[in-house]
Amino acid sequence: MTDYKALEQAFGFELFPKRDLVLVRGKNAKVWDQNGREYVDCVSGNGVANVGHCNDKVIEAVSSQAAKLITCPGIFYNDVRSTLLERLAALAPGDAKRVFLCNSGAESVEAALKFARYTTGKTEIVCAVRGFHGRTMGALSATFNPKYRADFQPLVPGFHHVPFNNFEKLKSKITDATAAVLLEVVQGEGGVHVATHDYLRNVAGLCRDSGVLLIIDEVQSGFCRTGKMFACNHFDLQPDMICLAKAIAGGLPMGALLCNDKIQVAIGKHGTTFGGNPLACAAANAAIDFMLADNLAEQAREKGDWLVAELRRQGLAKVREIRHLGLMIGIELQEKVKPFIFALLEDGVLALPAGAKVLRLLPPLTITRDELKKVAQTLTNILG
Ligand SMILES: Cc1ncc(COP(=O)(O)O)c(C=O)c1O
C-alpha cells in the first residue's frame, strides 16, 4: 500500500499538528481511513462540512457544472454566479446585499479591511483579544494570538486588540482615525466564547453613532452552524460587512464578503482570479438550497442543545465549563486538551482543540442521533 503519510512528510510542509490518520472517504458525519476504519467526524474539515461530507446535492451540482464551465473570471457575467449573488443577498442580515466572492476566510477578511480603509479614508481597526481572522498579513494583523503573529513582524500597522465582551474597553480605543471594528460573534479558535446581547448592541450603536464600520467575521459561525443561518441573526445584528467562507460551498474552497450600501469600492481597486468561479458557485447554490430545505439551522440548534445537555448531565470530572451556540461547542477542560483529542481518535471520534484547554466540536449539522449518542458516550468515557 502506498505510504501516503511518508509522501506528505517528504514533500509537504509540517505546518499542522498532524494526527496519524490518512482519510480517504467521507459521507455525512462519517469519514474513513485508508484501512477502512470509520470515525464520527466532529472536525468537519475545520467547520466546513455543515451539509455533511459528499452531500448528494453538492455532488450532483459539481458534477454537472464541471461538464459545463469550471472557470469564468469576473470580467464576464455568469449564470450560476449571478444566482448565488442573489441568494446570498436574500439571506444577508440587514442590508448587506452586495457581495464580493473570493476563495477563503482570510481573503474575505482581507477584502473587508481594504474596503473599510477605502470607504472611510481611515486606517485604524479595532479587534478583539482571542479573535482569529486568518493567516495572511492583514488577517493576521487582526488575529490576536501572539503565537501566530510573533515571527512575522512587522505586521500591517493600525490594529488594536481589546478584551472581548467589554464595551468600555472597546469604546476607549475608538478615535477619529478608526475605520472599523472587526469582531466574531462567537470566537471559534479563541475557545468558543459567545458575545453577549448587550455588548453587541452597544458596539453596533457606537459604530453607527461614530461613523465607524462594523465588520462581523462569520467565517466559522455562518451557514447554520450556531442554530441560525448566521450568528448575527441571534442578536438582530446588522453589520456593514460580514465575512463568510468555510461551509458556504459544501466543502469546496470559497469565501464571500457581504456589504451594505455604505461600502463603496471603485473599479480596479480589488480583484481575484478564482473568486466566484462557476464550480464553487454551483456547489454553494446546492449547499445553501440544502441548508434551507432541510432546515439545518433548526437541526443545529436542537442537536447542539441535546449534546450539551447530555454532557452537562454527566457532571464530567475533567470539564470546567461547556460553552456553545448550536453545534459550535467548546468544552473547557481542567487540563491540556491534546491527550484527549488523541484518546477520542483512538475511540473513533475526531475533534478539534481551540486553544490549550478547550476541546471543540464542529460536527456536520446532518449528524444523526445515533452518531451524536456515540460522541456523547465517548466523551463521557474519556472526560468522566
Ligand atoms: C473566524 C475565522 N475567520 C477567518 C478564518 C480564516 O479562514 P481560512 O482558513 O479559510 O483562511 C477562520 C479559520 O478558521 C476563522 O475561524
Q: Write out the residue range of the structural domain in which residue 163 sits.
A: 57-293
The residue among 231, 269, 243, 214 whose CA lies nearest residue 101 is 243
- What residues are in contact with ligand 1 under a 6 Å CB criterion? 46, 104-106, 109, 132-134, 184, 188-189, 217, 219-220, 245
Contact in structure between 336 and 356 (CB atoms under 8 Å): yes
Alpha carbon 157 to chain centroid, angstroms = 25
Residue 133 Cα to ligand 1 middle (Å) = 5
User: pTM of the full predicted structure?
Assistant: 0.98
Residue 312 Cα to ligand 1 middle (Å) = 29
Is 73 within a domain?
yes
Cα separation, 230 vs 218, in Å, equals 7
Is 97 within a domain?
yes
Is 325 within a domain?
no
Is 17 within a domain?
no
Is 315 within a domain?
no
Instruction: Compute CA distances 267 → 45, 75, 262, 271, 336, whole Å.
Output: 35, 11, 16, 9, 49
Ligand 1 atom with the smallest distance to the CA of 253 is: 10
At 233 the pLDDT is 98
Is 273 within a domain?
yes
Helical H segments across the chain, by residue range: 4-11, 44-47, 56-66, 79-91, 105-120, 137-142, 146-149, 167-173, 197-210, 278-293, 296-314, 338-346, 369-383
Is 317 within a domain?
no
Is 118 within a domain?
yes
Cα separation, 24 vs 243, in Å, equals 30
Cα separation, 120 vs 303, in Å, equals 42
**Before 73, cis peptide (omega within 30)?**
no
Buried b (16+ CB within 10 A) or exposed e, 260-274: bebbeeeeeebebeb
At 1 the pLDDT is 81
Please provide residue 244's backbone torsions phi and psi, each rounded to the nearest 5 degrees.
-130, 155
Q: What CATH number is attached to the domain comprising 106?
A: 3.40.640.10
Q: Which of 183, 186, 220, 362 to mutate to test the pocket of ligand 1 (most atoms within 8 A of CB)?
A: 220
pLDDT below 50 — which residues of the chain?
none
Sheet holding 358-361, edge to edge: 319-325, 328-333, 358-361, 352-353
Residue 198 Cα to ligand 1 middle (Å) = 25
- Identify the bridge partners of residue 216 per DSSP, sorted by sequence position: 183, 242
Count of the separate structural domains present in the chain: 1
The residue among 97, 8, 82, 50 whose CA lies nearest residue 245 is 50
Cα separation, 207 vs 132, in Å, equals 21
Q: Which tens digit of pLDDT belongs to each residue from 349-384?
A: 999 999 999 999 999 999 999 999 999 999 999 999
**What DSSP assignment string belongs to 26-51?**
EEBTEEEETT--EEEESSHHHHT-TT
At 17 the pLDDT is 87
